[in-house]
Structure 1
Amino acid sequence: MQLKYKIVALGILPLLLAVAVICALVVFQNQKLGEQQAQLIENGILASKRAELKNYVAMALSVIAPLYADGQGDARAQRLALQALAEINFGRDGYFFVYDEAGRNLMHPRQADLVGKNMWNLTDPHGLLAVQALLASARADDGFLRYAWQKPSTGQVTDKLAYVVMLQRWGWMLGTGIYLEDVQQAIQQAREEIASEVHATMLAIAAVALLAVLLVFACGLTLNVREHRLADSRLQSLNRRIINLQEDERSRISRELHDGISQLLVSIKFQFELASHELDAAQAKGLETLRRAIERLGGAIGEVRRISHDLHPSLLDTLGLSAAIGQLAAEFEQRCGLTVLYRDDLHAVQLPDGVAVALFRIVQEALTNIERHAMASTAHIDLGQVAGAVQLEIEDDGIGFNPRQIEQIQGGIGLRNMRERVEHFGGTFSLASTPGCTRIGVALPVSLSGAVPFPARRVEA
């Protein structure tokens, strides 16, 4: 995935995830509040229905009260009471019903075919023994029961809320009920209104999310264009640096070849020619001249080896980092006359090639800087390991410098190279300098658990 798409995805995906979570929370909370509101509506309507049913039953009791209070001629009083109750009705589906304690229907003005039948084992569509439950509710003085019953006006079975009381002396259960279709319609209407509100809320959130996504996309596109230009500028600068470094390195090698190897080879050529003439002339000094030429040839070979070692030390591949730094320190001490104290606690552990080369080049660059600028007499090189990392410290007792100032000028390329090498491997680089002490610290994360030590010797200065 290209950088610009990564930036846009990084901005949009968390936003979409947050919007999705918000939408889920809004839907959940609205549904929860909707159910609570529907429950409140249902409870309110049912409370009013219960009060209404109590009033109807109280009215029916007041109608038959004179007959029930008359203790004489109970059979005639009961017959008259049933006739009076059958004539009382309210609305299309409001009526009273009477059962005896055995579950036999004594009066039902809307369903005459039930009169005289034993309904003890009658169950509604929900499996409820309706008549038994009504009798139990009446005996418990609660009186209210919700069950399913056939609605006379439509012939459909629907929910019904009944209120019943016991007439103990006659052994009757008197009750009435109200069908709950209007309650269900009110609750359904409330749920539909809540669903409509949820839908409107979701549309509003979607509109806000769309605007936010467009805004993020525009900002991401702007940032991408800016970062792309900045990256191009940095890439061009890096290319120029690489070209300059390549040219500097080529110039250095060219100078060393021209001023060192070339001059030595020319001198050796002259020595061999002189020795050839002297030997042809049978002069005794011809052998001495030949020996001097051979000595100079050895010096030329050593110079070639030094240049090759500077380009890539073969000892780094054969004996490892510890020995390569030891040889570098020894050669530096011989060449410059400085005292180099090298302490190696890495125990010749074999490091990854990239890490070993980076640490070697850092030491090489640091010693070069000490030779050219520090005016020091002693240098310390400390190579070791800490938890999960290789640690390198280089210290000298030179004149010091201002690290901030030196990195801002052209002469700070070496320090920048050190820092970039360390950052490439995810390590840490520290630099501190005062008159009399300059310290460079490097720590590169390396897994040493499976490292294999070099079997060869270790070279130290």
Structure 2
Amino acid sequence: MTFKTKLLLITLLPLVAVSLLIGVTTYYQSTELINAQTRAVEERILSAKRQEIRNYVSLALTSIEQIYEHEPGGREAAQAQVKEILEQLTFDYDGYFFAYTLDGTNIVHPKLPQLVGGNWWDLKDENGDYVIRNLIEAARQGGRFHQYVWNKPSTGTVEEKLGYAILLDKWGWMLGTGLYTDDIAREVVAIRADFARSISQTLLVTFMITLAAIVIAGSLIAGVRFSEQRFADSRLKELTNRIFQVQEQERKRVSTELHDSISQLLVSVRYGVEMIHSEAGHTTELQTQAAKCLKTLDGTIAEVRRISRDLRPSILDDIGLAAALISLGKEFQSQSGITVNVSAEQTLSRLSEGAKTALYRVVQECMTNVARHSRATEVSISLTVGDRSLVLSVEDNGIGLPSPLPKTGGLGFRNMRERIETYAGTLTVNRRPSGGTQIKVQMPLDNQTAKAA
């Protein structure tokens, strides 16, 4: 671990630790306070609703008490009159009374008349609660409350409801009513939101103070590290560029030696062997050996020329980048059997020799990768020269790169990127929609040369 990293940790870790400790303590204490407050609010509202429901039931009993006790006109007439009264008794927007026989048959329901006459003993709510069965049981126990979910008439949605049921034992009826409790949830949410805002403000102030200290300390240390890193990066790029230049110079030297020295020596030897072949006369064995030697020398000369061309193609220096790419495509097609289509525009003098070499090496590396890995049958090389920049594209129809695409690639991709970035260019690797791989290079041109042209 470097000294700068140790300094950064010693400076920032205590600040972060104190901030986290304060934040966690504040959060847990506030959470406990919120839970206690919301429980108290819920209990207070539920207690008020229970009392309200009891009052409504008392009013309903008062309304039907005389009819229930004396049954004027007989029981059936009295029950019909009570049903009519209960149908008319409503309160708030969603308050009403309902009645069921003790076997679960509905006899009064002003909001859901389709339930009247049906037996709902086995009716369950969304939570699996036997609503009618449990309300009848609450009524049998002397009048109790029961929580369930039910359709809310004003909204058409299913909400929590606090129900209360009593028993009209003389008629064998369960009489009930209730209030929806979704307003409790809304009030609890509002309370929690108020507390959450207060907690957030407290935590925000704490973290802002800590963050300011962290930013100041981190900025000072990061500034030092960034300047040193930028200096190191620039030196590394210079070193990389110098390595490429030395490498190209050495390749050019070796290529020249092979072409001008070794190749010429082999050609001279070939002339001598040709003379032996022609002077052999009727000596069949000597002619055969001379012919084999000639064949071997032809192959050796061709191989030396290929190596010389791969190391540093003379056509790149003599004619230009476009001609060198066309030559490279033809050579690759003849060696690999893969069809190569080359479309290259002349760059004239708008590229430095180093930039031309970098572009050529990128295409050379791409063709090597195609031959080794792509299983392609066709490759397209395109060099388009614009007003301010050029675009080089190498595409194949092979199996493509793995998914997901590698972020940095292998050594070959890194070398290609470093070569192009040396001349302010960019290199991207993409997967073609139709299959295969596309390597695209964008590089700026020499604007002063362009203006002169």
The normalised TM-score by structure 2 is: 0.46
The structure that has the greater radius of gyration is 1
- Which structure carries more relative contact order (alpha carbon 8 Å, separation 6+)? 1
The normalised TM-score by structure 1 is: 0.45
